[in-house]
Amino acid sequence: MRYPLVSGPRPPHLGCSGRSKPEELTMSDAGEDIRSRLRQLQSRFTWDLKKEDLELDDLSWRLQHDIDLGLGQRGAVAHAYSFLAYVRYLQDQLEEAESLLNQSEEKTRECFGEESEPRLIVTYGDLAWLKYHIGDDEQSQAYCQRVHDILVKYPVESSTDLNPEVYGEKGWTFLKFSMSYYLKAIDCFRKALDLQPDNCEWNNGYAIALYRTEKNTSETYPEESPATKQLRRALEINPDDGVLLSMLALKLVIYQKHREAEALMERALEVGPDDTQVIRYVAKFLRKQDQLDDSIELLQRALRRGSHSAFIHHQLALCYLRKKRNLLPRKPHPEKEVQHWRRLSIYHLEEAVRVKSSLNHAKAALALQYAEEDDRSRAQEMFNDVLQKLAGENDSICQFVYRCYAEFCHYHTIQKDLAITYYTKGLEFSTRTSEGRHCIKKLKQIAERRLSNNPRDARAYGILGALAKAEGERTRAVEYYEKALESDGNNDEYLSALCELRLELE
């Protein structure tokens, strides 16, 4: 390759509108600075996609899977070809990358016919960059010219806007690339909808992006959330999209709309019985309804179809963990059966992490299962790794990891103080999630046990103070912190919390 990927600030986008036309490109320009022209193109090569944010093998498999099964809406396969081409470029497979981009152009023309040209802006931009890296400056310039001609033919009103098809392609790329790009995907789809409000594809992309970034709780939105409303909007335009149907069903469960959710899931399976994305969401729904056998059957069906999805392995593991937990209240519980479900969960968690090593919530669950198998050193090593990589993760994953580590410290390494610390950290996000409620329950048990041994235990009152504060009961929290300070009058943590609470109550 001739140059590394472009990064840093870039000059104005080539042909953002028809008002300010880019300089006409001819073959006589070949001796000029081609790279400065290329930097103006809308292309995956200019979108600052960082290779370190990407798991190439996992993304490569997912894109090839979508191509092989023809998954997604109109034009989705063409997008998968072009994105897979960029992955092949990152893997130094330039010839295959070029072949895939040519196939993307062919599929785009098949899907959109006379309307295909605006959807080829990014594909031609990618080809221009790829030809440049291969060393074919003449063809690179030719693709730059093609982009120029399309932009002149399809101008947008504002010089600051891109064509909606470019926003859309950019949005789908960010959505598939990495969790850290989801907010950028939302911004792109929103801008595309500003230009084409009724476009099915942009409405779908916006709904999926909101779904993936929104907390799964009714705490923030007592009424239906923005993602829920956008899923409804997208389904008005495209009522037979199985993925959207299943996503909306999962959202409605949060708002206790179980009858409507069940009807949507049945419809999702009708329209997408062989779509692995639909299957995994329906299976997740069934697991949440405690219909574990049905969920396992669906997920195993997806695996038999050749799916290597980390998500499906993770969902299967969660089903097996639920199977294991359901046995624990039985006294005495059947240890062989418990071990059977635990080892099945370990296998699928290991597969999920092998396919996608950035699944920190799967790693935390796996570490806890290692501890239950008495492999504490392996568990500690994995927890150390996960805790160092939580920056940028969403609140629900952080809360889950903290809860798992607290359980590890509480039950397997007997580090009671560290367990209290991490149960308490789990309350920083929400007390209404299942993880938050679990942390509250454990902290209350710990505090009550300590007080039964020592009615003046300052740490116990400090725990109860933190719980009351997290639950919004400030007056009660003040009382607990005052009792804590009676036994530990110089504790800076309790003094700071008490001062803060008193100021809030004034």
**Residue linked to tokens 């902290």:** 443
Instruction: Look up residue 353 and give its two tokens.
Output: 């992490």
Instruction: Please give the Cα distance from 175 to 184 (Å, whole number).
Output: 8
Instruction: Look up residue 486 and give its two tokens.
Output: 């009676």
Output the CA angle 114-235-248, nearest 5 degrees: 140
Domain that holds residue 51: 27-162
Instruction: Please give the Cα distance from 196 to 203 (Å, whole number).
Output: 9
Tell me which residue of 485, 431, 430, 441 sits closest to 462, measured CA to CA.
485
Biggest CA pair distance of the chain: 89
Instruction: Please give the Cα distance from 160 to 409 (Å, whole number).
Output: 54
Q: Is residue 141 part of a domain?
A: yes
Q: Provide the Cα torsion 95, 99, 102, 108; round to 10°.
A: -130
Q: Is residue 447 part of a domain?
A: no
Sequential pLDDT tens for the chain (506 residues): 454 444 333 333 443 333 233 444 444 444 457 888 899 999 999 999 988 777 788 888 888 878 877 766 778 899 999 999 999 999 999 999 999 999 999 999 999 999 999 999 999 999 999 999 999 999 999 999 999 999 999 998 888 899 999 999 999 999 998 888 999 999 999 999 999 999 999 999 999 999 999 877 666 677 889 999 999 999 999 999 999 999 999 999 988 899 999 999 999 999 988 888 898 899 999 998 889 999 999 899 888 876 678 888 999 999 999 999 999 888 887 999 999 999 999 999 999 999 888 899 999 999 999 999 999 999 999 999 999 999 878 888 999 999 999 999 999 998 999 999 999 999 888 888 889 999 999 999 999 999 999 999 999 999 999 999 998 899 999 999 999 999 998 999 999 999 999 998 87
Instruction: Please give the Cα distance from 266 to 272 (Å, whole number).
Output: 10
Contact 58, 356 (CB under 8 A): yes
Instruction: List the helix and strand counts (H, then E) for the chain.
Output: 24, 0
Count of domains forming the chain: 1
Local structure of residue 430 (DSSP, 8 states):
-
Output the CA angle 373-379-380, nearest 5 degrees: 140
- The count of other CB atoms within 10 Å of the CB of residue 16 is 21
| Helical (H) or strand (E) element with 353 | helix 335-355
Q: Is residue 309 part of a domain?
A: no
pLDDT at 19: 28
pLDDT at 178: 85
- The count of other CB atoms within 10 Å of the CB of residue 441 is 11
Q: Is residue 449 part of a domain?
A: no
Q: Is residue 399 part of a domain?
A: no
Q: Is residue 485 part of a domain?
A: no
Domain of residue 65, CATH code: 1.25.40.10
232, 285, 293, 444 from 289: Cα distances, Å:
22, 6, 11, 28
pLDDT at 306: 65
- The count of other CB atoms within 10 Å of the CB of residue 345 is 24
Instruction: Look up residue 46 and give its two tokens.
Output: 């200019």
pLDDT at 5: 41
Q: Is residue 124 part of a domain?
A: yes
Q: Is residue 102 part of a domain?
A: yes
Instruction: Please give the Cα distance from 457 to 272 (Å, whole number).
Output: 58
Instruction: Please give the Cα distance from 480 to 471 (Å, whole number).
Output: 13
